[in-house]
Amino acid sequence: MIATLGVEAERELIDAAIYYSEHGGPELGLAFIAEFERAIEALCEHPQLGPVWRGKSRRFPLRRFPYSVIYRLRPSEVHVVALAHQRRRPGYWSNRR
């Protein structure tokens, strides 16, 4: 399987990495990106890892950071619709495709 990111999810990834870089140093920003990439690799290998959550979406929490990858399965594709902070605005992404 391959992974694709929606425009909003990509923006969330960049914004969070910038935040961690500014508040914890460049290493923390890079660690955030590395953890996201690890999660995506795991989901591409085992797309059913994240439980079904809020309809047709699935959720896979990052290990070290309070974020979850919200994704939908498509034929031969893991489509990331959001990189959602676990304690902010639950379900804000639910209208995304």
Residues 6+ apart with CB under 8 A from 45: 1
- Domain ranges, residue 23: 2-85
- Candidates 89, 32, 88; CA nearest to 63 is 32
- Give CA angle at 33 (29, 34), nearest 5°: 115
Q: Which amino acid is at 55?
A: G
What does the DSSP assignment read for 66-81?
Answer: SEEEEEEEETTEEEEE
Whether 90 is in a domain gets the answer no
pTM for the whole structure: 0.89
CATH, residue 66: 3.30.2310.20
What's the number of domains the chain is made of? 1
Whether residue 89 has pLDDT greater than 80? no
Residue range 4-55, pLDDT digits in tens? 999 999 999 999 999 999 999 999 999 999 999 999 999 999 999 999 987 8
